[in-house]
Amino acid sequence: MSLRITIATARRVLAQLMHDHRTVAMMLVVPCLLLTLLWWVYDGGPVWDRIGPALLAIFPFMIMFLVTSIATLRERSSGTLERLLSMPMGKLDLLVGYAVAFGAVAVVQALLAGGLALGPLGLDVAGPAWILLGIAVLDALLGVALGLFVSAFAASEFQVVQFMPALIIPQFLLCGLLVPRSELPDVLSAISDVLPLSYAVDAMREAQLSADPSVWAEITIVVGFALGLLALGATTLRRRTA
């Protein structure tokens, strides 16, 4: 791995984003609008307090998944990926560069959405705010890693967008947001045990209920999934193609 190339790649990805004001605005503003909408729907009552933290985990995961999968698909289809791989570019340099760039956006996104939820929208949590924000950023990175991996299996942007209902919505349904995971039918509960978003939402719930939350196990699992997906993503980058 080369630090020079990784940093250059992260800077390049951010520079591309900076030319696309609308996407940046959507990435930062949409989660805030959705949280506000939900707060309004539940009139800021106890249901809002229950699901608010989970949504702080879910929104960055979804948005980063979409943005990353399309960005990497473009890299593959425009020929720039082949060009980079014919240069002294390590596969991890590229993947980590992407993760750093979108991770930086995720930090801003988490600060805005978290600040809004905990401040003006009065989300009631027992644990420290920085743990909630930290989990939100890790979930965004999980979305980045999943998006990088999935882009290898899509031949077009149409297909990539279809991966969203296929891979993200089931995790959303089974993560414990709608029905607590312990109350799910046995088979579904077992499935939810192997989905990364379940652990992200568990960590958020723990941070919400306990003043001194122990979330390390859940965080380790989420980070493990993210690293595993990045490693799988690296295997889909081929220097030689037919």
Partner 1 sequence: MLDGFDLDVPPGTLTGLLGPSGSGKSTLMRAIVGVQKIAAGSVEVLGRPAGAAELRSRVSYVTQAPSVYRDLTIRQNLRYFADVLNAPGADVDRVIEQVDLVRHADQLAANLSGGQLSRVSLAVALLGTPELLVLDEPTVGLDPVLRQELWQLFHQLAADGATLLVSSHVMDEAERCERLVLLREGALLADDSLPSLLEHTGTPDAEQAFLHLVSKASHP
Residue 22 engages partner 1 in binding (rule: CB under 8 A): no
Number of C-beta neighbours around residue 162 at 10 A: 12
Q: Which range of residues in 7-15, 42-50, 56-64, 117-125 is near partner 1 by CB under 8 A?
A: 7-15
Task: Report, in Å, the least distance between residue 239 CB and partner 1.
Answer: 6
Phi, psi of 51 (to 5 degrees): -95, -15
8 is a contact residue toward partner 1 (CB under 8 A): yes
Cβ atoms of 70 and 97 within 8 Å: the answer is no
38 lines the binding site for partner 1 (CB under 8 A): no
Binders of partner 1 in range 174-213 (CB under 8 A):
none
Smaller CB separation from partner 1, 16 or 235:
16
Determine if 11 is a binding residue for partner 1 (CB under 8 A). Answer: yes
CA gap 33, 130 in Å, rounded: 21
> Quick one: 130 or 239, whose CB is closer to partner 1?
239
Can residue 25 be called a binding residue for partner 1 (CB under 8 A)?
no
DSSP 161-215: HHHIIIIIHHHHHHSSSSS-GGGS-HHHHHHHTT-HHHHHHHHHHHHHH-SS---
Among 63, 73, 89, 121, binds partner 1 (CB under 8 A): 89
Residue with tokens 């999943």: 146
| 5 part of the interface to partner 1, by CB under 8 A | yes
54 sits near partner 1 (criterion: CB under 8 A): no
Number of chain positions touching partner 1 (CB under 8 A): 25
Judged by CB under 8 A, the residue of 1, 3, 19, 192 near partner 1 is 19
Picking from 167, 192, 166, 168, the residue whose alpha carbon sits closest to that of residue 179 is 192
Residue 113 in contact with partner 1, rule: CB under 8 A: no
**3-state SS, residue 19:** coil
Does residue number 56 form part of the binding site for partner 1 (CB under 8 A)? no
H-helix or E-strand spanning residue 142: helix 129-150
Please pick, from the candidates 33, 37, 40, 83, the single residue that binds partner 1 as defined by CB under 8 A. 83
Beta strands per DSSP E along 20-154:
none
The answer to whether 40 touches 34, Cβ cutoff 8 Å, is no
Which residues contribute to the site for partner 1 (CB under 8 A)?
4-5, 8-9, 11-12, 15-16, 19-20, 78-80, 82-89, 239-242
